[in-house]
């Protein structure tokens, strides 16, 4: 497990106030942050204003020392054990960073393998295995500058795995990738966690990606922890209820109070709205009444309402649901509007 225990990072800068004068300014990028990442778990790290995500990842990957607090990896403190910790972690960045374009794919892996102290024979075996795993065997001896974006990102994955890390930090891993390649990469990330047992920290501006992959999500705001929970729990807590739409025929407005009472008995503290609609088709127009219900659990609503609608002579002709997602929740948080 990775554990950050009340970690703070403060930067000191000097702002010029005159021709020969300057003043010292301290900026706290991360403040009293505690988080943990278990092996086999994918954890999301999202941020609002001046969140401190980059600083957090740099501290976890040993590129920065915290001002205070402690970081432990498998019970080993980063302080005084940097080399041991570095053997257990690696980082994969999005875009086209962290590769040497004039070197071939194989030479990149050889270079980074040497940085981690791997033997020549180990580098040779691991390079061949990883290049095959990411589908770059045929391009292994081509300069990286000839690679497509997708090929470069696949090489990034191989580079990030060259030391067989127990923990991976993924910083915008699908940035700029085409949809099919991004989907393939998400599958690889899921495999690394669930099949190989690697602990993964993921940052991404693609919130659907975070919602799809992550077991838990930390949300930071100005360097402080704002929320930590499962993605669906954050959506439920921040964005609130869902809206279920039922299209029925045979509606009578006198049924409204009965329906509200019935929804309450079912555990759906609902707000009910309705409107007359029509379904246009080549065979004419069929009028129906759309009942819109604000409820915490739209998935259960349709099956629970079937007996009631049948008993009251209503026929359900259609059902749809509007569900808030993680993006909705983050927008609400960033705007300071929480339901």
Q: Is the dihedral of CA 30, 36, 40, 41 positive or negative?
A: negative
Q: Which two tokens stand for residue 117?
A: 């102290």
Same-fold call for 2-88+165-237 versus 241-323: no
Q: In the chain, where are the structural domains located?
A: 2-88+165-237, 241-323
Q: Provide the pLDDT for residue 74.
A: 93
Which CATH superfamily, name and number, covers 2-88+165-237?
A: P-loop containing nucleotide triphosphate hydrolases (3.40.50.300)
Low-confidence ranges of the chain (pLDDT < 70): 96, 268-286, 337-339
Q: Would you identify the CATH topology of the domain 241-323?
A: Alpha-Beta Plaits (3.30.70)
pLDDT 10s digits, 42-66: 999 998 877 899 899 999 999 999 9
Q: Provide the pLDDT for residue 284.
A: 37
Q: Provide the pLDDT for residue 40.
A: 96
Q: Is 303 exposed, middle or buried (0-12, 13-18, 19+ CB in 10 A)?
A: exposed
How many CB atoms are closer than 10 A to CB 64? Answer: 17
d(CA 198, CA 254): 59
DSSP state of 145: G
Q: What is the per-residue DSSP string for 237-294? A: HHH--EEEEEEEES--GGGHHHHHHHHHHTT---EEEEEEEEEEETTEEEEEEEEEEE
Q: Provide the pLDDT for residue 285.
A: 43
């Amino acid at each position: 497990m990775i554990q950050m225990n009340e970690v703070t990072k403060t930067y000191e800068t000097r702002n010029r106030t005159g021709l020969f004068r300057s003043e010292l300014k301290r900026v706290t990028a991360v403040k009293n942050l505690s988080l943990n990442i278990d092996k086999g778990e994918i954890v999301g790290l999202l941020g609002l204003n001046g969140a401190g995500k980059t600083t957090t990842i740099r501290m976890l990957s040993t590129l920065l020392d915290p001002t205070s607090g402690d970081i432990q990896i498998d019970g080993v403190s980063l302080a005084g054990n940097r080399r041991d910790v570095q053997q257990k972690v690696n980082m994969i960045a999005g875009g086209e960073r962290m590769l040497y374009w004039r070197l071939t794919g194989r030479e990149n892996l050889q270079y980074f393998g040497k940085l981690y102290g791997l033997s020549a024979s180990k580098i040779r075996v691991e390079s061949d295995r990883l290049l095959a795993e990411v589908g770059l065997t045929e391009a292994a001896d081509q300069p990286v500058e000839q690679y497509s974006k997708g090929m470069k990102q696949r090489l990034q994955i191989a580079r990030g795995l060259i030391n067989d890390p127990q923990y991976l930090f993924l910083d915008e891993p699908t940035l700029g990738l085409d949809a099919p390649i991004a989907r393939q990469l998400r599958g690889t990330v899921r495999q690394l966690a669930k099949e190989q047992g690697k602990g993964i920290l993921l940052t991404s501006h693609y919130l659907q990606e975070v919602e799809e992959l992550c077991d838990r999500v930390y949300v930071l705001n100005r360097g402080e922890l704002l929320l930590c929970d499962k993605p669906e729990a954050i959506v439920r807590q921040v964005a609130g209820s869902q809206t279920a739409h039922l299209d029925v025929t045979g509606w009578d407005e006198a049924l409204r109070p009965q329906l509200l009472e019935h929804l309450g008995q079912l555990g759906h503290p609902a707000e009910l709205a309705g409107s007359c609609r029509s379904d246009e088709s080549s065979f004419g127009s069929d009028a129906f009444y759309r009942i819109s219900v604000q409820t915490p659990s739209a998935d259960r609503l349709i099956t629970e309402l079937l007996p009631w609608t049948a008993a009251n002579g209503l026929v359900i002709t259609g059902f749809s649901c509007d569900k808030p997602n993680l993006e909705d929740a983050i927008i609400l948080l960033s705007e300071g509007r929480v339901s």
